[in-house]
Amino acid sequence: MHIEQQNGRNLKKDRFFYRCTVVILSAVLFFSGGKLSAQAATAVEEYGALKVEGTRLTSKKTGEAVQLRGVSTHGINWDVGYPYISKEAFQTLRDKYSVSAIRLAMYTTEYYGYCDKAGASESQSQVQSVLKQRIDTGVQAATELGMYVIIDWHVLNDQTPLKYKNEAKQFFKEISEKYASYDNVLYEICNEPNGGTGWEDIKKYANEVIPVIRENDGDAVIIVGTPNWSQDVDEASKSPLAYDNIMYTLHFYAATHKESYRDKLRTALNNGLPVMVTEYGVSEASGAGAINTAEAKKWLDLLDQNGISYFAWSLSNKAETASLLKAGTTKKSGWAKGDLSPAGKWVFKEYNARSGKASNEPGKVSKLKAKNLKGKKVKVTFKKLSNVSGYEIQYASNRKFKKSSTKRMTKTSCILKKLKKGKKYYIRVRAYRIISGQTYYGDYSSVRTIKIKK
């Protein structure tokens, strides 16, 4: 499976208040193109807390089956993972790429590991404090955006989860107490047991860790890894754990794991085992090598047919095939197609298509022009697009559009006012389309630069 290289408020929420807030937010109206339009509910607003029924993840609120399409971070221990833990990054994934859930992967060993810090200069307790803060940043961002989030105890080079069982129990005791009232938090208690670790060993570990979580959060969804790098779900299906709301992990990398591994999944489902794919890639198992989109499509088709949730590895710009961002890209959010790796382009195209978003997005605005007018004004014009609800113009005095201003309109020209003489401004525009209360945005146009002269 994916073998990694080394890399360099504590606030309890009241469940009643949280749910009331969700209801209020769901009813909020926003001004759009001269009309009032109800904003579409987020995944958590729509489904609320989750539970397991049969082999399916379902909503406690509506009773509907729920399928999550998610993304896993790289190790939040390192600079290829933690820079992307932010509200801005998660919102890009949600709004642009149809992602409804985030997996926070925290490695237990290797450099800056939670249980073994290796060569890190900080003390082990300092490392743990930093990692828990990164988890909290991720949980809070996902919660504000109405996204689900998995807290992942990322067993890998420690091979067996039993090695750091006591540390895991203490970690999940703290974490489950802190997030017990959060409807969007799921717990993954061991990532990829390997090195000959059998299902009986994993069960022994799970039978000690699960009760620790249940003391604080009696019905949260808990995800348990399976033998052989979380591939042998068929073995787990022969002797499942005696708890409710448990799911079992299957991982695959499409260029390596093909039909025989899909057969393992079919066996597990036939035996009634609830499965979640908390990690997959379109690359080889190493995370490198060629990508195989044909096999990846077979996998996603099978998962969709059975309503199984899946999370792509990984939200990172690391120079490996499995990374979703292009190697070396410096943007931490707001990624356009050109910022994505080949794997990222394929994954997000599939997510948008499978969620129905792709066909709803308007095209890209072209022929953007900007002209100086008297009184420190600029006239902006661009080519009209058919079948859109309106346009959104963004302008700022810096290339990165920090502290930018935004105007919404239905016409293809507008006047920007109250600009500063002698100042250079950067302008871009995108179209949007509102369908059943949901707003779909097209890509931004090319940027037009103009210096205010009059």
Residues forming the active site: 192, 279
* Confidence bin at 7 (pLDDT 50/70/90): very low
Domain stop point among 339, 359, 379:
359
Same domain, 320 and 371: no
In a domain, 12, yes or no: no
pLDDT of the residue at 107: 98
In a domain, 223, yes or no: yes
pLDDT of the residue at 358: 77
- The stretch 209-219 carries a mean pLDDT of 98
Q: Which residue has the higher pLDDT, 7 or 183?
A: 183
Same domain, 324 and 387: no
Domain stop point among 359, 389, 405:
359
Same domain, 342 and 252: yes
- The stretch 209-226 carries a mean pLDDT of 98
pLDDT of 367 strictly over 60? yes
Percentage of the chain beyond pLDDT 90 is 85
Gyration radius of the chain's alpha carbons: 23
- The stretch 361-372 carries a mean pLDDT of 92
Residue 419 lies in domain: 361-451
In a domain, 334, yes or no: yes
In a domain, 23, yes or no: no
Same domain, 196 and 304: yes
CA 440 to CA 328: how far, in whole Å? 29
pLDDT of 2 strictly over 90? no
pLDDT of the residue at 402: 84
Q: What share of the chain is helix, strand, coil (3-state, %, to 5)?
A: 30, 25, 45
Q: Work out the mean pLDDT of the chain and round it to a whole number.
A: 91
pLDDT of the residue at 154: 98
- The stretch 295-319 carries a mean pLDDT of 97
CA angle 8, 10, 12 (to 5 degrees): 140
pLDDT of 19 strictly over 60? no
In a domain, 177, yes or no: yes
Same domain, 391 and 344: no
Tell the burial category of 242 from Cβ atoms under 10 Å away from its Cβ (0-12, 13-18, 19+).
exposed
In a domain, 32, yes or no: no
In a domain, 184, yes or no: yes
Same domain, 263 and 396: no
CATH no. for residue 435? 2.60.40.10
Same domain, 224 and 124: yes
H-type alpha helices, 161-292: 165-178, 199-216, 227-230, 233-236, 259-270
Same domain, 212 and 79: yes
pLDDT of 10 strictly over 80? no
pLDDT of the residue at 39: 52
What b/e sequence results for 61-76 when a residue is b if at least 16 CB atoms lie within 10 Å of its CB, and e otherwise?
A: beeeebbbbbbbbbbb
pLDDT of 24 strictly over 50? no
In a domain, 435, yes or no: yes
- The stretch 14-24 carries a mean pLDDT of 44
pLDDT of 239 strictly over 50? yes
pLDDT of 34 strictly over 80? no
Same domain, 145 and 133: yes
CATH no. for residue 137? 3.20.20.80
- CB neighbours of residue 192 within 10 Å: 25
Specify which residues 50 forms β-bridges with: 59
Domain stop point among 359, 375, 406:
359
Which residues, including other chains, have CB under 8 Å from residue 305's CB and lie 6 or more apart?
A: none
pLDDT of 238 strictly over 60? yes
Same domain, 249 and 260: yes
pLDDT of 9 strictly over 70? no
- The stretch 103-115 carries a mean pLDDT of 98
Q: How many domains does the chain have?
A: 2
Give DSSP secondary structure letters for 293-326. Answer: HHHHHHHHHHHHHTT--EEEEEE---SSTT-SBP
Write out the H or E segment, with its range, that includes residue 15: helix 15-27
* Confidence bin at 246 (pLDDT 50/70/90): very high
Same domain, 355 and 413: no
Same domain, 397 and 412: yes
Q: How far is CA 111 from CA 185, 189, 341, 384, 412, in A?
A: 26, 20, 26, 53, 53
* Confidence bin at 16 (pLDDT 50/70/90): very low
Q: pLDDT tens across 131-152, in order?
A: 999 999 999 999 999 999 999 9
Q: pLDDT tens across 406-437, in order?
A: 999 999 999 999 999 999 999 999 999 888 66
